[in-house]
Structure formats: structure tokens, C-alpha cells
């Protein structure tokens, strides 16, 4: 049995206010420190940071020390503001763009997950960056990459290949950074899509804890609108799916990404969505932490992003606090002052064994009969999912 809830961690996925992640190309430590002062002011305790793989390893034989030094300065800046740091390694996919080194593209093109040459180069990158960031005492976690399953189908893979790929790289991280949480990150197609070649077992069996990313533009907001119960509880639903699927009843689940995407969550409702969603998910005893996407908006002078990506920040590019930031800060203060006191939970049995029948994943997807039954029950009390 999972124990009673403890106070979760609260943080933000750090998106630099000046120049998005292109800012790594022209690093400005003072600008980073200004951004992190914003986040510390909300009462956050951590950030998740995203070095760009091809800018650190532009050639399979080159690891750019200057780029690693810039990453270490960001980590040091976080420490100056009382923030711990989780580092993602393989970017990989960010805000709808893919960043892959040229040595795995064009006439070198092969699968990131299946090609031995690419895996060898990637292993050297993962080892180098993990060893470097592990020298900083405020680094608590290293994730292989941000939603690496977004890189499929351009990099074909199978259940067996994607699992072996992640398992081997996690061993590399563990050897390079002992004592730091080594983690794996995928988006929710691994839970909901029948033919997706990343298994939900990867979430709950690989790495030191489970990670989930809750985005209501996946169809859940169409179930009942921006403040409907299905939308407000989607984060808790994903946390519960991960907790139920693990054989370890005490394995924590990190809500590693959640945000207020428009038009699914209109601007005037973003504060209320934030407050109510976080108040619900913190009641889950499996919850390790909540990390908001993202810290700062993207400057609209930068072109070609999907429209929803520009305005996901807790702060504007000129450091103005937005409604989601105010709501999140208030919930954090309330939780830390008063603790968490959820109602007694009920249970609901899943329609199939989530561990063994991945082809049936649509049966638990948003809008499915099981999901709607869980949402209805969740309106009255927390609901633990159990496997048949």
C-alpha cells in the first residue's frame, strides 16, 4: 500500500526568456540569473534544464567543453537561487522542433534507437554530460531526454529496441553519476496509442522513478471543456495509471510536465485551471513532484513555433508574472503551510492488464468508457486504479 501523501516537490521546466534555447549558442549567465530569480520568487525548489545535444556533440568525435561549461554555470546559478536541478540530455524534441546532430542525418540517416554507430556516439555524449553535471551537488536527477518517443517514426523502433536503448543509456548515466536519479521520459502515446512502439512498462520499470507528462490538448479537453472534471483530473489520472502499473507500490511518480495550452485553456481560465489541477493531483500519495511547463514565454519575434508554444510560461519574456504563476505560488504556499489531507480513496479496476496488453491502450485513453467512469468517481473522492 502506498503511504499517505507527503509534500511534493514543485518546480519549472526552464525555458530562457531571451532567445528560447537558442540562447545556448550565445550564453548569457546574467540573463539566466534574472530568469531564475523569477522562479525562486514563486517558492519553487527545482528546475529542469535542457542542453541541446547537437550543439554539445556536433560531430561524433567532438564534445564541446565550452557548451558544458555554460550548462554548469546554469546549474551554479540555480544553486545561487536555492534551486536544485534536473538535467535532460537528449534534445531531441523541444516545443515541436527536433534537434539531431548532422552525423545521424542525410547520408548517415539511421534509427536513433536501433543503429549501433549512433548509439555509440550517443553513449559518449551521455557519459560526458552526466559526469560533468554530477560534479554539482544541487543536481538531483538526469533524464535521458525530453519525450524521446517524439523522435519516432523518423527513427523506427520496436518495443524491444526502445526498451533496450533506454535501459543501456540509463546504465551509462548511473555509472557516470552515481547517487543522482537516472530517469526516462516519454509522452502519453506510450499510455494511450495502440501501435506506439514505446511500452508503458518503460515508464514504471526503467529509471529510479516514473515520469508522466500531462497535456490536455491530447483530446481530454474536448471531453468536457477547459474546467471540466476530465480536464482538471487528467494529471491525476496519468499519475494513477503509472502508480497502478508499477509492481512496486511505493514507486514515486513525477509529474514532469504540465501546462496551460491555448486554446484548450483560455487565458482568462488559466489561473483557475492551474489551482484546481494542482490541488487535485497533490492528493495522490504516489506523487513525487510537479514541474510546470514552462518558466517563461517564447518571444513572438521567433518564428515558426505552433501558436500554443509561445505563451506557456509562468512569466512573460519581460519577467511579468502571469495568472498561472500566481495560482501556482498560492497553492505551493498553502500545501507547505497546511499539508495534504485527501479524502479516503475508492478503487476502480482497469479493463485490461496495463502491463501485458499494450494493444488495448485506447481502452483507457481520454474519452474511453473506463476513463469517463474514473472521472465520474474522482468527482467524489480520490480513485486508485487496480489491475484486473
Total domain count for the chain?
1
Of the chain, the percentage scoring pLDDT greater than 70 comes to: 100
Whether the Cβ atoms of residue 216 and residue 190 lie closer than 8 Å to each other: no
Q: Provide the pLDDT for residue 6.
A: 87
Looking from the CA of 278 toward its CB, the CA atoms found within 13 Å total 32
Distance of CA 180 to the CA centre of its chain: 17
Percent of the chain exceeding pLDDT 90 equals 98
Best CA proximity match to 143, nearest among 42, 6, 288: 288
* Side-chain half-sphere CA neighbours of 161 within 13 A: 15
Domain hosting 172: range is 9-345
Does 385 reside within a domain? no
Q: What value, to the nearest 5°, has the Cα angle with vertex 97 and ends 92 and 100?
A: 40
Please indicate, yes or no, if residue 142 is contained in any of the structural domains: yes
**Measured between alpha carbons, how far apart are the two ends of the chain, in Å?**
17
Q: Is the pLDDT of residue 2 over 90?
A: no
Angle 213-210-3 from CA coordinates, rounded to 5°: 115
Strands 253-258 and 287-292: parallel
Helices (H), the chain: 29-40, 53-56, 65-80, 116-133, 159-176, 189-192, 200-205, 221-224, 229-232, 234-245, 270-281, 323-338, 369-378
Characterise 277 by phi-psi region: left (phi > 0), alpha (psi -120 to 50), beta (else): alpha
Give whole-number Cα distances, 369 to 90, 350, 366, 378, in Å: 36, 11, 9, 14
* CATH number for 186: 3.20.20.80
Question: In 3D, which of 81, 181, 183, 175 has the Cα closest to residue 139?
Answer: 181
Whether residue 1 has pLDDT greater than 60: no
pTM for this one? 0.98
Domain for residue 352, yes or no? no
- Assess if residue 261 is contained within a domain: yes
The 10s digit of each residue's pLDDT in 72-96 is 999 999 999 999 999 999 998 999 9
CB count within 10 Å of CB 337 equals: 7
| pLDDT for the residue numbered 5 | 78
| pLDDT tens sequence across 319-334 | 999 999 999 999 999 9
Q: Give the distance, in angstroms, between the CA of residue 136 and the centroid of all CA atoms in the same chain.
A: 22
**220 inside domain:** yes
The dihedrals phi and psi of 381, each to the nearest 5 degrees, come to -170, 165
Let me know if residue 75 belongs to a domain. yes
Over residues 24-43, the pLDDT tens digits come to: 999 999 999 999 999 999 99
Within a domain: residue 144?
yes
In a domain, 210, yes or no: yes
- Joined together, the cell numbers standing for residue 243 give 502508480
∠ CA 39-279-286, nearest 5°, is 95
Can you give the pLDDT at residue 4?
76
Residue 182 has pLDDT above 90, yes or no: yes
Residue the block writes with cell 523506427: 156
* Rounded CA separation 54/139 (Å): 22
Amino acid at each position: 500500500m502506498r503511504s499517505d501523501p507527503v509534500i511534493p516537490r514543485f518546480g519549472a521546466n526552464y525555458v530562457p526568456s531571451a532567445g528560447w534555447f537558442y540562447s545556448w549558442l550565445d550564453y548569457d549567465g546574467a540573463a539566466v540569473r534574472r530568469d531564475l530569480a523569477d522562479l525562486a520568487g514563486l517558492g519553487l525548489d527545482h528546475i529542469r534544464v535542457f542542453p541541446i545535444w547537437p550543439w554539445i556533440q556536433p560531430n561524433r568525435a567532438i564534445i564541446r567543453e565550452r557548451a558544458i561549461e555554460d550548462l554548469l554555470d546554469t546549474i551554479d546559478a540555480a544553486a545561487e537561487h536555492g534551486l536544485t536541478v534536473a538535467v535532460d540530455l537528449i534534445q531531441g524534441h523541444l516545443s515541436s522542433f527536433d534537434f539531431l546532430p548532422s552525423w545521424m542525418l542525410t547520408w548517415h540517416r539511421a534509427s536513433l534507437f536501433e543503429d549501433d554507430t549512433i548509439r555509440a556516439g550517443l553513449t559518449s555524449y551521455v557519459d560526458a554530460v552526466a559526469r560533468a553535471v554530477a560534479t554539482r551537488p544541487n543536481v538531483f536527477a538526469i533524464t535521458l531526454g525530453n519525450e524521446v518517443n517524439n523522435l519516432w517514426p523518423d527513427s523506427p523502433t520496436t518495443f524491444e529496441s526502445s526498451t533496450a536503448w533506454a535501459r543501456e543509456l540509463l546504465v551509462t548515466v548511473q555509472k557516470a553519476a552515481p547517487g543522482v536519479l537516472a530517469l526516462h521520459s516519454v509522452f502519453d502515446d506510450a499510455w494511450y496509442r495502440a501501435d506506439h512502439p514505446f511500452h508503458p512498462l518503460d515508464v514504471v520499470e526503467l529509471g529510479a522513478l516514473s515520469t508522466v507528462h500531462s497535456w490536455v490538448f491530447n483530446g481530454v479537453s474536448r471531453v468536457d471543456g477547459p474546467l471540466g472534471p476530465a480536464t482538471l483530473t487528467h494529471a491525476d489520472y496519468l499519475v494513477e495509471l503509472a502508480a497502478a502499473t508499477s509492481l512496486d507500490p511505493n514507486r514515486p511518480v513525477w509529474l514532469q510536465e504540465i501546462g496551460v495550452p491555448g486554446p484548450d485553456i483560455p487565458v482568462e481560465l488559466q489561473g483557475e485551471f492551474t489551482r484546481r489541477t494542482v490541488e487535485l493531483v497533490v492528493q495522490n500519495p504516489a506523487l513525487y513532484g510537479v514541474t510546470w511547463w514552462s518558466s517563461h514565454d517564447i518571444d513572438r519575434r521567433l518564428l515558426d513555433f505552433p501558436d500554443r508554444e509561445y505563451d506557456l510560461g509562468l512569466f512573460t519574456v519581460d519577467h511579468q508574472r502571469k495568472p498561472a504563476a500566481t495560482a501556482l505560488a498560492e497553492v505551493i504556499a498553502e500545501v507547505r503551510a497546511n499539508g495534504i489531507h485527501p479524502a479516503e480513496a475508492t478503487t476502480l479496476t482497469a479493463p485490461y492488464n496495463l502491463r501485458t496488453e499494450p494493444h488495448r491502450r485506447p481502452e483507457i485513453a481520454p474519452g474511453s468508457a473506463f476513463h469517463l467512469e474514473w472521472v465520474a468517481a474522482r468527482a467524489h473522492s480520490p480513485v486508485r486504479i487496480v489491475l484486473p
